[in-house]
Amino acid sequence: MKPTRSKRMTDGLEKAPHRSLLHALGLTREEIRRPLVGVVNAANEVVPGHLHLGALSAAVKAGVRMAGGVPLEFPAIAVCDGLAMNHEGMRFSLPSREIIADSIEIMAMAHPFDALVCIPNCDKCVPAMLMAMLRLNIPSVLLSGGPMLSGRGRGKTADLISVFEAVGRFKVGGMGQEDLEDMVEHACPGCGSCSGMFTANTMNCMAEAMGLALPGNGTIPAVHAERIRLAKTAGMQVMDLYAKNIVPRDIVGEKAVANAVAVDMALGGSTNTTLHLPAIFHEAGLDLSLDIFDRISRKTPNLCKLSPAGAHHIEDLHLAGGIAAVMSVLLRGGLLHGDALTVTGRTVAENLRDLKAKPSNPEVIRPLDSPYSREGGIAILRGNLAPEGAVVKQLAVLPAMMTRTVSARVFNSEEDAAAAILGGRIKPGDAVVVRYEGPRGGPGMREMLTPTSAITGMGLEGDVALITDGRFSGGSRGAAIGHVSPEAAEGGLIALVQDGDRILIDIPNRKLELLLEEGEIARRRTAFRPPARHVASSFLRRYALQVTSASSGAMYGER
């Protein structure tokens, strides 16, 4: 039998005590001799996307056993960004990515598994598990929990973002209390990652696109039996990878990077991919700058218009052929590397050929000659306000805001900005500038779905921008420009913006400029004193000392 990594803790006279402990788990002598597979299960009773992961873990373990391995399950934490939104809890969401990755490394090094199957579903858990897989570099497969089905509200399909936007609509009298409560009750119909091309679903699709998850991972609905079958297949497939000694860094190279970004642009994915993909690929020794997003976006057409940019949801994408169908269109157009290896043990092109992948609905997945837009979903803006870059989901910006000069309304926290928006103090032509919400300044780089949804719900989406060194939910839409780098806490120019300053937004030409004379900027910098900020959490204080800029993935680095 093939030598196993787990023999470090099971073989030899000196490992007799170790074997005794494994027997205490109920393992037989035969099982101890077999490959041991760690099954990382992020199930909990807090996150709707993770509520059903126990059933998927059981299916994964069945697959591992069918293929001759011995599965050993251990947990991982997960934060629900929706529940953490718009209060102090959101400061802990992005930092949880590093904690999850580190904890998986700890478990897999302390107990040397021969292979891993990782079962996440929501925003930070997915990239964290991908980071851990590449860091450990043992045979691994990621198996997501799958998307939630769309719900309903006011007689139409709805999702979580519909509810966030309904708050602003209710505030301006566009919706009654009973309609609001009906939407609250029915927009999220059950388990799974919130139904739209939000961050969790984007990252689950990215795992499939980069080759670390099986075909179907991104779009098979959470409640479908097909998801259980995929879980069993993942358990069996990790044993095949073990037998062939195929590890994540064999799969993730420059071609996988380009494929993931191209699919991201075609889907119109979350701006959070510009934080997560650099952190993931860094674990494989690959440096991914913001420039690659813009370069690939300029040549990759947007083929899908999913919520929040459009009316379609993830189940619609699945019925239209899923990520495989999107990739087949890109491959035929020469926009994908078909020879990149995947966890199937075959290449992208071989997978697509075997699946006979092609779109079945030209409105959900447009052909290359009739895309929703000629460029991809994300644009990287630069200028004196963001010399290291800022990120916008250009697909979700109305034409009137693509090029606009706006007047700054400045806030030092998300709460103050949201209160001003909902209080009717923001007017057409304004730019809500929210600073000290970056990775260090927050600390934690909170998502700002509440203020962006309020702007949309109050009918200001075509006249008001939001510019921040923080970040946005994948569900945000409108002229929401985030990740402004350097952030205010690092001395970025956003710290010097004052009420009434004019800011040029020029998305087609990728510009974000504070329209001030250099002399005035120098005068303000000389007089500037950063506001005193108290961070109660010792964990967040440590995080602020270690985290890097949003422009490099907001990951831990040396300072």
What positions carry a catalytic annotation?
473
User: Which residue bears the tokens 């005193």?
Assistant: 532
Length of the chain: 559
* 14 CA to centre of own chain: 44
C-alpha closest to that of 327 among 271, 264, 377 = 264
Residues 293, 296, 298: CA angle, nearest 5 degrees:
105
| Position 47, amino acid | V
Residue-wise DSSP of 20-83: HHHHHTT--HHHHHSPEEEEEE---SS-GGGTTHHHHHHHHHHHHHHTT-EEEEEE-----HHH
Identify whether the C-beta of residue 384 lies closer than 8 Å to the C-beta of residue 513. Answer: yes
User: Which residue bears the tokens 């947007």?
Assistant: 302
- DSSP type of residue 530: P
Distance separating alpha carbons of residues 67 and 537, to the nearest angstrom = 46
Residue-wise DSSP of 340-379: -B-TTSSBHHHHHHHHT---S-TTTS--TTS-SBSS-SEE
Which residues have C-beta within 8 Å of that of residue 7, sequence separation ≥ 6? none
Which residues have C-beta within 8 Å of that of residue 465, sequence separation ≥ 6? 401, 404, 406, 430, 431, 432, 478, 479, 480, 481, 503, 505
| Beta strand 389-393 pairing with 115-119 | unpaired
Handedness of CA 476, 480, 485, 491 (dihedral sign): negative
Handedness of CA 302, 281, 256, 140 (dihedral sign): negative
Omega prior to 367 cis, within 30 of 0:
no
Distance separating alpha carbons of residues 36 and 71, to the nearest angstrom = 6
